[in-house]
Copies of this chain bind each other. A is one copy, B any other.
Amino acid sequence: MPPAEDRAERAERILDAAAELLLRAGYRRTTIEDVAERADVGKGTVYLHWKNREELFLAVLLRDSVRVLEELVATIAADPLSVRFSRLSEIQYANVLKRPLLRAGYADDAETLGKLLPKLHGKLDPRHAEAFVEYLELLAGHDLLRTDRPVRELVVVFQAVLHGFLAASPPPEPALLADTIARAFEPLAVSTRQLRAVAPRALELFTEAVALDRKQLERAY
């Protein structure tokens, strides 16, 4: 087989298999052989792509994460007003809810992710958190975010709220999150003009983030 394009295609197939099994049986119970069989490759082939089991499954989550970020970038590109914090939160929340594995990640679902959970936060967070803070500071600089508290504090509260929403069962409607975020974090009036002014830079920020994640995903396999 040509080493170029088919390789990535096969990697996708393996990730698909891993995702499917991860969701159905959980990390602990999913073996590399299961994955290899379902992806129609030999077990050794899996190790041609990822250096061990953990990396494989982290790649599954990273791929979902990239996809969600891509969706976000596309949404902002299509409608600049989506950079509004409450709107963006709503979009991300809804998109995460649609992806059971990510939802498990954000909600600390140990049953399906098992020992993957700690490693996960060490893998995805650092860069995302940075980009997120930059985004919030961008908003704050344009009267699109309350400025009476340091962004650092707002981040803590936002994460708590998001976690609470994701961990609840059933998770509340995305609209309720949007409403909560709007009231808790935004100034009384949110200027449409300012939103448009800020959108390009935000788009840039998230595009960079998604590029970095994509790179890390490629490097992984």
Q: Which A residues contact B (CB, under 8 angstroms)?
A: 149, 153, 156-157, 159-165, 167-168, 172, 176, 179-180, 183-184
Q: How far is the CA of A165 from the CA of B176 in the complex (A)?
A: 17
Give the residue of B149, B160, B179 whose beta carbon is less than 8 angstroms from that of A161.
B160
Query: How far is the CB of A35 from the nearest CB of chain B, in Å?
Result: 29
Interface residues of A: mostly helix, strand, loop or mixed?
helix
- Least distance between A152 CB and chain B CB atoms (Å): 11
Cα distance A130–B167 in the bound complex, in angstroms: 22
Distance in angstroms between the alpha carbons of A162 and B168 in the assembled complex = 11
Cα of A179 to Cα of B160 in the assembled complex, Å: 14
- Other A-B contacts than A160-B161, A161-B161, 19 sampled, CB-CB below 8 A, are A149-B179, A156-B168, A156-B176, A157-B176, A157-B180, A159-B164, A159-B168, A160-B164, A160-B165, A160-B167, A163-B163, A163-B164, A163-B167, A164-B164, A164-B165, A180-B184, A183-B183, A183-B184, A184-B184
